[in-house]
Structure 1
């Protein structure tokens, strides 16, 4: 019986430490909340689907050994600091780009977009660029 209780407690704790998967409508709400232009929302949704699978906590290691964080798979080589202090292009800690609070991810993605447009994301180039994207129904 005590093992069952321990297992339940551990599972409850673990569920709070894992990231959140956002629905398309939740993503749209976040984009609007953070001031993303309406005419770009289809591209941003496609980008997130191509890059981060709509999970806030996704961290992938690239072939070059660099890591990509969060919904937008923001790279640590250029945009975020692996240390305790914020840094690099977005002046943010990488670990803050893989949390349920998407505000740092949204802010950083705007900085990246301002510097390079959607072309900065290989996922967008491969899966979204030049394609007819589905209408947003939220």
Structure 2
């Protein structure tokens, strides 16, 4: 009985560490966007979208829509469920669940560009949270960063 309880305890610890999220702050997100060369005028809106989509949680998964990561990238079109790369961004959805959001940023830039190429301007329209939460002046999201 003691061995069984020990095994269960060890598994709980391992699983909790594997699923531990990092909640970034707005300036960490802004710096990551700037480091990837995102235009200054877009950065405040991306920070707002990250807040609206995931509350800055790098390990966020919406179990209803199967959107992944800090920007909630859709597995329907942009990432392949599991660990195999695929779909529009040619990446696995699991690769969006980590503290380094550079892969996420590369994908959102692609989604943005393709959305605009389809005549939907601005490309932020691909995110349902943009219109109600982030379509206005978002400069306060990067103040102090």
TM-score (norm 1): 0.83
Given the two structures, how large is their TM-score scaled by the length of structure 2? 0.79
Q: CA RMSD, aligned part only?
A: 2.2
* Matched residues, number: 130
**1:27 — aligned with what?**
29
Change (3 A) 1:85 1:16: closer
2:55 to 53, 56, 68: 53
Alpha-carbon shift at residue 15 of structure 1 (Å): 4.1
Where does residue 81 of structure 1 map in the other structure?
80
- Greater CA deviation, 12-21 or 113-122? 12-21
Secondary structure at 1:122's aligned position in 2?
A: coil
1:20 is displaced (CA, Å) by: 0.7
Runs ≥4 residues deviating over 3 A: 6-13
Structure 2 distance, partners of 1:49, 1:110, is 17
CA deviation after TM superposition for structure 1 residue 128, in Å: 1.1
**Relative to structure 1, is the Cα distance of residues 7 and 83 closer, same or farther in structure 2, using a 3 angstrom cutoff?**
closer
Name stretches of at least 5 consecutive residues in structure 2 with no aligned partner. Answer: 116-122
Q: CA deviation at 1:84?
A: 3.5
